[in-house]
């Protein structure tokens, strides 16, 4: 999988690059509009992470260019400009998703995976981890072929953890993902802890071969055992 | 009061005063003229009578007859007077009332009193002439003036109406356009067809005001977006780097703890930043996608979304829809309004407590059992208000609720009754 990261802030570009490489993607980067246009003209990418505000012009020009040259590929816009106009325009121009800064590494990786899976699986979107099989479309979970009932929030938590398999997901990222972008986070952490506890119990009871590890008390990591 | 009625009010008062003064002056002049002409004819009568008397050969006879017939058969009266009074006498015109035969009430007369001498004797002569009845004259004049006033008023109202419609047309057109003008909609500047200088000046002034406001609006909007960009990118870098560091492992517990605390502070910072930007966006009216919202459905959906959370907090949430509430607003803001109120009610509650959402005619009330006493109603909607120091709460939730309500002209109220917090929003 080849990903192009178009982002002018070097530190953020580097952080994204490190994170993506950890998931074994091949990563290339561009820091301004011109070099980005050259890259998309010469190579094909499975997914492009695109910042809107770039030196040299608006990142939306990249979308125009991709459309004009009929280059296949997915685009996720990562923008600090959390403005509805941009979001709507970006999605109209063919972007697959829109992520507002600041975002959690795990959120980016989950969105990326979702976009790539939509493209590759050809309709089959089931996620697998150990002996778990999660169907996001029908919101069902099977452990070793048997159905396990989860409540909605437990399902959302597990879904997010599987999308970030073997990676640390902080409680904040989890809370934000599960709640949507909620402003007041009081009590969310206790709630997340409670959902994780229930989820662990249900997974253990059904004989799942995955582990939900707590990491440094800041987050969780799901690994297949 | 409409301009038309205002003008009519002032005109009717002024016309009333002018017509009244005019009537008084006219009446005085008229009376003066009447007296003048009567006095002239009395003067002529006097001369004729005196000439006749001087030439009369049988004066004594005439004199006696004149005394007897005083005013009944002729229009004069003669009597003898002393020399002193005759010498003191001048021609004197007076108004008098006399009762004549065949008349029930007195008739007004003008009387000339004079004196003459004949044959060494002195006589007084009184000549009368019938004059106008002033009561009748005043009454006639009053009605004439009254009807004149009414006719004037009606004409003024009609003409005024016509003039206002015609002359003020550009004004009303401009007014209508200004009423409908929305700064966030990129509307063109109002346009009117007129050559009237005042209206052209009004249009120029309103154009200047609108352009200035548009400038301020767009620069504020730009600032909002730039602030977001400038702050969010460093925050994104910090979040990313800290998360990667934690993920890399190889940290001892203390370092991990420190990093995780820093990460939480960064998160809190981004939440605050987002909330403040959201507030300024609401206040700058940058949410403009108004559409009809079925509030009952929205409330039920939100309550369902919060179901796991409320059962975790052991709070029973119930929705009573007495009436269906339909409002027109931005969907994102409607959702934010409802979920902020509901989530607050669940959080600031007691285990085993309840949240009741009541939907009435244009009214949404959220009641929840309280953990403590009444909240200070004048404080809670202020920014950064917190009932307890909580690291996770931004203290902006209710400010956002209030900003949304203000944006749409809804009224949000807080009350405390029977150990329950009541938050109500009235939609108008």
Three-state SS at B378: coil
Q: Which residue in chain B is spatially nearest to A102 when comparing CA positions?
A: B236
* Residue A185 to residue B235, Cβ atoms within 8 A: no
Instruction: Say how many C-beta atoms besides its own lie within 10 A of residue B2's C-beta.
Output: 8
Chain A residues within 8 A of B330 when measuring between CB atoms: none
**Position B73 confidence tier, pLDDT thresholds 50, 70, 90:** low
B393 interfacial to chain A (CB closer than 8 Å): yes
- From chain B, the residues in CB contact with A18 under 8 A are 244
A87 in the same domain as A8:
yes
Q: Is B347 on the interface with A (CB under 8 A)?
A: yes
- Separation between Cα atoms, residue B408 and residue A68, nearest integer Å: 42
C-beta atoms of B260 and A152 within 8 A: no
Judge if A183 and A219 occupy the same domain: yes
| Torsions phi, psi for B379 (to 5 deg) | -100, -35
Question: Looking at the partner chain, which of B243, B312, B396 has a beta carbon nearest the beta carbon of A104?
Answer: B243
Exposure of B261 by Cβ count < 10 A (0-12 exposed, 13-18 middle, 19+ buried)? Answer: exposed
A179 & A206 share domain: yes
Q: Which of B234, B235, B240 to mutate to test the interface with A (most CBs of A within 10 A)?
A: B240
Q: What is the dihedral of CA A91, A95, A96, A101, to 10 degrees?
A: -90
- Tens digit of pLDDT for each residue in B331-382? 888 998 998 899 889 888 899 999 999 999 999 999 999 888 888 888 888 8
Joined together, the tokens standing for residue A58 give 């608006």
Q: Which domain holds residue A89?
A: 2-120
Most confident by average pLDDT, B50-64, B169-183, B213-227 = B169-183
Strand arrangement, sheet containing A132-135 = A127-129, A132-135, A140-143, A146-148
The reported pLDDT for the residue numbered A49 is 93
Please state, in angstroms and rounded to a whole number, the distance separating the CA atoms of residues B117 and B333: 113
Residue to mutate among B186, B233, B310, B342, with most A CBs inside 10 A, is B233
Question: In the predicted model, what is the mean pLDDT of residues A52-73?
Answer: 84
Report percent pLDDT > 70 for chain A: 92
Question: Are A157 and A174 a contacting pair, CB within 8 Å?
Answer: yes
Bridge partners for B423 per DSSP? B366, B414
How big, in percent rounded to 5, are the helix, strand and coil portions of chain A?
45, 25, 30
Residues A145 and A161 in one domain: yes
Return the beta strands (E) in B27-106 as ranges. Answer: 76-81, 92-98
One CATH from 3.40.50.1820, 1.20.1090.10, 3.30.565.10, 3.30.70.20 for B290-426:
3.30.565.10
Nearest to A199 by CA among A147, A154, A141, A167: A154
Residues within 8 A of A (CB atoms), B 260-299 only: 260, 263-264, 267, 270-271, 274-275, 277-278, 286-287, 289
Partner-chain residue, chosen from A12, A186, A216, that has the shortest CB–CB distance to B237: A12
Q: How far is CA A77 from CA A112, B178, B222, B239, in A?
A: 11, 39, 20, 18
Q: Which DSSP letter does residue B100 get? A: -
Give residue B81's region: left, alpha or beta (phi > 0; psi -120 to 50): beta
Which residues in chain A (24-43) have CB-CB distances under 8 A to chain B?
A: none
Question: Residue B247 and residue A168: Cβ atoms within 8 Å?
Answer: yes
Q: What is the mean pLDDT of chain B?
A: 85
Contacts of A216 (CB under 8 A, 6+ apart): B246, B251, B253, B256, B257, B259, B260
**Interchain pair B232, A80: CB under 8 A:** yes
Task: Yes or no: say if B154 and B9 are a contact pair by the CB < 8 Å rule.
Answer: no
Asked if B343 and A16 come within 8 Å (Cβ–Cβ), the reply is: no
Q: Given an 8 Å threshold on Cβ–Cβ distance, is A183 in contact with B275?
A: yes
Determine contact: A185 vs chain B, CB below 8 A.
yes
The Cα A205–Cα A130 span in angstroms is: 15
**Co-location of A36 and A75 in the same domain:** yes
Q: Do A186 and B347 touch (CB under 8 A)?
A: yes
Question: Does residue A189 sit at the B interface (CB-CB below 8 Å)?
Answer: yes
Chain B interface includes A193 (CB < 8 A): no
Nearest-angstrom CA–CA distance, B317 and A110: 32
Residue A165: list chain B partners with CB under 8 A: none
Q: What is the mean pLDDT of residues A180-207?
A: 79
**B337, B234, B223: which is closest to B280 by C-alpha?**
B223
Residue B198: C-alpha distances to residues A92, A225, B138 (Å):
48, 84, 47
CB atoms within 10 A of CB B150: 10
Q: Helix, strand, coil shares of chain B as percentages rounded to 5?
A: 60, 20, 25
Task: Specify whether A196 is located in the same domain as A115.
Answer: no
> How do residues B22-68 score in pLDDT, each as one tens digit?
999 999 999 899 989 999 998 998 888 888 877 777 777 777 766 66
Secondary structure letter of residue B285 according to DSSP: T
Least confident of A22-31, A133-142, B95-104, B120-129: B95-104
Interface probe for B, chosen from A5, A22, A52, A172 (most Cβ of B below 10 Å), is A172
Alpha helices per DSSP H over chain A: 10-22, 33-42, 60-68, 84-92, 105-120, 152-163, 171-179, 188-205
Confidence bin at B201 (pLDDT 50/70/90): very high
The answer to whether residue B386 neighbours chain A at the CB level (below 8 Å) is: no
Q: Kindly state the helix (H) or strand (E) to which residue B209 belongs, with its residue range.
A: helix B197-248
- Residue A68 and residue A101 share a domain: yes
Same domain, A75 and A151: no
Kindly list the residues from chain A whose CB atom is less than 8 angstroms away from the CB atom of residue B289.
84
The 8 Å CB, 24+ separation contacts for B164-167 are: B164/B3, B164/B4, B164/B7, B167/B196
Chosen from A98, A176, A177, A183 to mutate, greatest number of chain B CBs within 10 A? A183
Burial bucket for residue B214 (CB in 10 Å: 0-12, 13-18, 19+) = middle
Strand order in the sheet with A219-224: A168-170, A219-224, A210-215
pLDDT of residue B115: 87
Tokens representing residue B38 in the block? 């009567």
Provide, as residue numbers in chain B, all residues whose Cβ is less than 8 Å from the Cβ of A5.
Answer: none
The CATH number given to whatever domain includes residue A220 is 1.10.10.10
Rounded Cα distance between B413 and B399, Å, is: 13
Q: Are residues A184 and A110 in the same domain?
A: no
Q: What is the pLDDT of residue A84?
A: 66
pLDDT score recorded for residue B407: 86
Question: Does one domain contain both A147 and A80?
Answer: no
Q: Tokens 């200004």 belong to which residue? A: B178
> Are residues A96 and A13 part of one domain?
yes
Cα nearest neighbour of B339 on chain A: A182
Asked if B228 and A80 come within 8 Å (Cβ–Cβ), the reply is yes
Count the neighbouring beta carbons within 10 Å of the beta carbon of residue A163: 24
Beta-bridge partner residues of B417: B420
Query: Distance (Å, rounded) from C-alpha B26 to C-alpha B38?
Result: 18
Say yes or no to pLDDT of B184 above 70.
Answer: no
Number of domains in chain A: 2
Least confident of B131-145, B290-304, B413-427: B131-145
Q: Answer whether B236's CB lies under 8 Å from A80's CB.
A: yes
**Which chain B residue is nearest to residue A189, measuring alpha carbons?**
B392
Please name every residue paired with A210 in a beta bridge, in sequence order, or none if there are none: A224
pLDDT in tens, B112-161: 888 888 777 888 888 888 888 888 888 998 999 999 999 999 998 898 88
Q: Are residues A66 and A132 in the same domain?
A: no
Q: Which residues pair with B290 in a beta bridge?
A: B330
């Amino acid at each position: 999988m080849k990903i192009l990261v178009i982002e002018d802030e070097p530190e953020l570009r580097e952080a994204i690059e490190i994170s993506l490489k950890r998931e074994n993607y091949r990563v290339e980067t561009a820091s301004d509009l011109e070099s980005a246009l050259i890259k998309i003209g010469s190579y094909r990418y499975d997914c492009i992470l695109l910042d809107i505000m770039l030196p040299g012009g608006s990142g939306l020009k990249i979308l125009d260019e991709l459309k004009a040259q009929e280059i296949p590929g997915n685009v996720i816009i990562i923008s600090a400009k959390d403005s509805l106009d941009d979001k709507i325009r970006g999605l109209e121009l063919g972007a697959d998703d829109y992520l507002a800064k600041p975002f959690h590494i795990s959120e980016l990786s989950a969105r990326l995976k979702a976009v790539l899976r939509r493209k590759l699986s050809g309709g089959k979107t089931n996620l697998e981890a150990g002996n778990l099989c999660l169907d996001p479309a029908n919101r069902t979970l099977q452990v070793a072929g048997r159905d396990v009932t989860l409540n909605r929030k437990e399902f959302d938590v597990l879904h997010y953890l599987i999308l970030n398999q073997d990676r640390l997901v902080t409680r904040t990222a989890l809370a934000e993902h599960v709640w949507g972008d909620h402003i007041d986070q009081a009590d969310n952490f206790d709630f997340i802890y409670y959902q994780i506890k229930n989820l662990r119990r249900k997974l253990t009871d059904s004989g799942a071969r995955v582990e939900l590890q707590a990491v440094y008390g800041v987050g969780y990591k799901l690994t297949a055992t | 009061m409409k301009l038309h009625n205002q003008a009519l009010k002032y005109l009717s008062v002024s016309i009333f005063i002018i017509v009244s003064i005019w009537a008084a002056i006219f009446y005085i002049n008229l009376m003066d003229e009447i007296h003048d002409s009567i006095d002239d004819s009395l003067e002529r009568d006097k001369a004729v009578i005196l000439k006749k008397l001087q030439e009369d050969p049988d004066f004594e006879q005439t004199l006696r007859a004149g005394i007897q017939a005083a005013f009944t058969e002729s229009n004069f009266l003669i009597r003898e007077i002393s020399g002193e009074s005759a010498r003191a006498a001048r021609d004197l015109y007076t108004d008098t009332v006399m009762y004549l035969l065949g008349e029930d009430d007195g008739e007004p007369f003008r009387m000339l009193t004079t004196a003459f001498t004949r044959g060494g004797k002195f006589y007084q002569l009184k000549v009368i002439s019938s004059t106008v009845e002033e009561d009748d004259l005043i009454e006639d004049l009053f009605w004439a003036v009254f009807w004149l006033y009414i006719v004037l008023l009606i004409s003024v109202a009609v003409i005024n109406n016509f003039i206002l419609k015609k002359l003020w047309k550009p004004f009303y057109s401009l007014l209508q356009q200004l009423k409908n003008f929305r700064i966030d909609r990129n509307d063109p500047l109002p346009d009117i067809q007129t050559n009237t200088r005042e209206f052209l000046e009004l249009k120029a002034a309103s154009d200047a005001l609108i352009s200035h406001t548009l400038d301020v609006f767009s620069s504020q909007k730009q600032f909002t977006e730039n602030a977001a960009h400038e702050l969010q990118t460093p925050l994104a870098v910090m979040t990313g780097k800290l998360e990667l560091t934690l993920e890399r492992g190889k940290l001892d517990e203390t370092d991990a703890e420190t990093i995780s605390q820093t990460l939480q502070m960064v998160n809190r910072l981004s939440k605050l930043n987002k909330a403040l930007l959201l507030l300024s966006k609401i206040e700058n009216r940058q949410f403009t996608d108004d559409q009809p919202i079925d509030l009952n459905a929205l409330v039920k959906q939100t309550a369902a979304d919060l179901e796991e959370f409320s059962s975790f907090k052991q709070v029973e949430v119930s929705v009573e829809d007495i009436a269906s509430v339909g409002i027109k607003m931005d969907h994102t803001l409607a959702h934010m309004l409802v979920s902020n109120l509901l989530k607050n009610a669940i959080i600031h509650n007691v285990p085993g407590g309840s949240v009741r959402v009541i939907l009435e005619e244009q009214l949404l009330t959220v009641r929840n059992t309280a953990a403590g006493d009444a909240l200070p109603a004048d404080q809670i909607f202020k920014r950064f208000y917190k009932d307890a120091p909580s690291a996770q709460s931004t203290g902006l939730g209710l400010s956002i609720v209030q900003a949304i309500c203000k944006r749409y002209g809804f009224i949000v109220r807080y009350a405390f009754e029977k150990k329950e917090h009541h938050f109500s929003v009235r939609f108008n």
